[in-house]
Amino acid sequence: MHRKLKAPAESPARGADPEVRATVTAIIDDVRARGDDAVRELSARFDGWSPERFRLGPDEVEAIVATVPAQVLDDIRTVQANVRRFAEHQRASLRDFEVETEPGVLLGQRNIPVAAAGAYVPGGRYPLVASAHMTIVTAKTAGVPRVAACTPPIRGQVPAATVAAMHLAGADEIYLLGGVQAVAALALGTAGIPAVDILTGPGNAYVAEAKRQLFGEVGIDLLAGPTEILVIADAYADPFVVAVDLLSQAEHGPDSPAVLITTSADLGRQVLDHVARILPGMPTRDYAAPAWRDHGQVIVVDDLDAAYALADEFAFEHVQVLTRQPREALERMRDYGALFLGEGTCVSYGDKVIGTNHTLPTRRGARYTGGLWVGRYLKTVTYQEVVDPAASVALGRLCGRASRVELFEGHARSGDVRAAKYAGDPLPWADAPAEAAPPAQVTAEVAP
């Protein structure tokens, strides 16, 4: 049982809205057909930006980095070190291995970095400096040799701190280009922007939909669309902190939902009061106010069991747990992009500084994936070798029988020839090809 102290004005978005889907298809088709000419026109139309070249040369990068204050550069280095350290631990958790599963049978696994990754760094509303760390540092930690990074100009201006972060993260190519046209160019390749093998990074609904439509022709990390926050709080939580944290994510954009699930109706009411008081004075209220009005919710539940169960149904990108025993959520919850345990941390730490990746699944993608991590830039591939002829004979006979059950005579013969070569098994089909009987299908009558 639960009741809503504040219901959303709009039901939560699931999947792309048809207008976004159609716009994105048209842009991708245009880039596919006309390459760089289309990219230039689209960038002019959506971002008022159509330079001779979208790629920044080394001198331009150097000049832009030189305009960034030293403290900002220092902080970028500190945060990138945090992201790199965590990514290195993740990399170390992935092993290449080879096992002898039976005498003479060697099976192995290797993790191979993709050759080229595209890193999308959002910048429509805010210069998302931190996204550069998340995609580029992580790709480089995985060992990706070529990382091509894109970010849009912001209202015709070069986002200098973002470019500095891209450069310090180790991007091999930096393009001032955003939106669907950037994603399509990276995925499909143009004369000026060579294609990549995987596209990664967060973005608005258009960018996320573009990745969805291009998936297959190019790899993607996950659909990391408009940010979501869900707070689980009991009577122990500080309602002021809860209100501040909910609004911290509502400011991402008017389509960013913020949801509180609480066991305390009293806390819920206090949070609503604080929000009403703080929101009008927020410099980012143009985004945060409609986000809260249309997508904000405060839900009261009977107990924490109900809170965890309901939170799993939301399967939100960020889940912050402000309860007496926050670590309990580790055992109790299944569906979230990232968990933030206790008052000592918050989603903003994850977004900006702490070192876990902020590129996370939205719109219930957390049911089937976690966020971006070093493993996304690696392909886990397998190999095999049989070094004992006796083992190949046993496998060859097994393969012959197993393949004939499936009526795959050609597959069966690859097993037969090895059993013949190493153990002298007869090859009736080779000696008398015309007389070989067709295999009998294994079927059963099923009573109606």
Ligand X SMILES: NC(=O)c1ccc[n+]([C@@H]2O[C@H](COP(=O)([O-])OP(=O)(O)OC[C@H]3O[C@@H](n4cnc5c(N)ncnc54)[C@H](O)[C@@H]3O)[C@@H](O)[C@H]2O)c1
The reply, when asked if residue 351 is annotated as ligand binding, is yes
- Least spacing, CB of residue 127 vs ligand X, in Å: 9
In the list 32, 55, 110, 125, the residue contacting ligand X (rule: CB under 6 A) is 125
Residues 209-228 within binding reach of ligand X (CB under 6 A): 224-227
Does 349 participate in binding ligand X (rule CB under 6 A)? Answer: no
Does 255 participate in binding Zn ion (rule CB under 5 A)? Answer: no
Taking the CA atoms of residue 232, residue 235, residue 236 and residue 237 in that order, the dihedral angle to the nearest 10 degrees is: 50
- Least spacing, CB of residue 5 vs ligand X, in Å: 25
The mark string for 59-98 relative to ligand X (x by CB under 6 A, - otherwise) is: ----------------------------------------
The reply, when asked if residue 227 is annotated as ligand binding, is yes
Six token digits for residue 293: 């009005």
Q: How far is CA 34 from the centre of its chain?
A: 29
Does 351 participate in binding Zn ion (rule CB under 5 A)? Answer: yes
* Catalytic, out of 318, 331, 343, 385: 318
* Catalytic, out of 317, 331, 358, 409: 317
Piece in contact with ligand X (CB under 6 A), picked from 88-96, 137-145, 251-259, 424-432: 251-259
Closer to Zn ion at the Cβ: 131 or 249? Answer: 249
Does 350 participate in binding ligand X (rule CB under 6 A)? Answer: no
In the list 35, 113, 118, 152, the residue contacting ligand X (rule: CB under 6 A) is 152
Phi and psi angles of residue 128, each rounded to the nearest 5 degrees, phi first: -85, 70
Give the span between the Cα atoms of 47 and 26, in whole angstroms.
17
Does 178 participate in binding ligand X (rule CB under 6 A)? Answer: yes
Q: 230 has which bridge partners?
A: 259, 319
The reply, when asked if residue 252 is annotated as ligand binding, is yes
Residue 396 touches which of ligand X, Zn ion, none (Cβ within 5-8 Å per kind): none
**Residue partners of 5: CB distance under 8 A and separation at least 6:** 265, 268, 269, 272, 298, 299, 300
Closer to ligand X at the Cβ: 213 or 262? Answer: 213
Phi and psi angles of residue 268, each rounded to the nearest 5 degrees, phi first: -55, -45
Does 203 participate in binding ligand X (rule CB under 6 A)? Answer: yes
The reply, when asked if residue 190 is annotated as ligand binding, is no
> How many residues belong to the site for ligand X (CB under 6 A)?
31
The reply, when asked if residue 120 is annotated as ligand binding, is yes
Give the span between the Cα atoms of 431 and 263, in whole angstroms.
79
In the list 141, 359, 392, 403, the residue contacting ligand X (rule: CB under 6 A) is 359
> How many residues belong to the site for Zn ion (CB under 5 A)?
2
Closer to Zn ion at the Cβ: 198 or 288? Answer: 288
Catalytic residue flag (residue 317): yes
Phi and psi angles of residue 229, each rounded to the nearest 5 degrees, phi first: -130, 140
Closer to Zn ion at the Cβ: 221 or 351? Answer: 351
The reply, when asked if residue 249 is annotated as ligand binding, is yes
Residues 298-337 within binding reach of ligand X (CB under 6 A): 317
The reply, when asked if residue 157 is annotated as ligand binding, is no
Give the 3-state DSSP-derived string for the chain, with helices as H, strands as E and coil as C.
CEEEEECCCCCCCCCCCHHHHHHHHHHHHHHHHHHHHHHHHHHHHHHCCCCCCCECCHHHHHHHHHCCCHHHHHHHHHHHHHHHHHHHHHHHCCCCEEEEEECCEEEEEEEEECCEEEEECCCCCCCCHHHHHHHHHHHHHHCCCEEEEEECCECCECCHHHHHHHHHHCCCEEEECCHHHHHHHHHHCCCCCCCCCEEECCCCHHHHHHHHHHECCEEECCCCCCCCEEEEECCCCCHHHHHHHHHHHHCCCCCCCEEEEECCHHHHHHHHHHHHHHHHHCCCHHHHHHHHHHHCEEEEECCHHHHHHHHHHHCCCEEEEECCCCCHHHHHCCCCCEEEECCCCCHHHHHHCCCCCCCCCCCCHHHCCCCCCHHHHEEEEEEEEECCHHHHHHHHHHHHHHHHHCCCHHHHHHHHHHHHHHHCCCCHHHHCHHHCCCCCCCCCCCCC
The reply, when asked if residue 209 is annotated as ligand binding, is no
Closer to ligand X at the Cβ: 128 or 419? Answer: 128
Does 23 participate in binding ligand X (rule CB under 6 A)? Answer: yes
The reply, when asked if residue 109 is annotated as ligand binding, is no
Closer to ligand X at the Cβ: 116 or 288? Answer: 288
Closer to Zn ion at the Cβ: 47 or 351? Answer: 351
Catalytic residue flag (residue 173): no
Piece in contact with Zn ion (CB under 5 A), picked from 136-144, 278-286, 321-329, 350-358: 350-358
Residues 210-249 within binding reach of Zn ion (CB under 5 A): 249
Piece in contact with ligand X (CB under 6 A), picked from 51-59, 183-191, 352-360, 409-417: 352-360
Residues annotated as catalytic (active site), given as ranges: 317-318
- Contact residues: Zn ion, CB under 5 A: 249, 351
- Contact residues: ligand X, CB under 6 A: 23, 46-47, 122-126, 128, 131, 152, 178-180, 202-204, 206-207, 224-227, 252-253, 256, 317, 358-360, 362
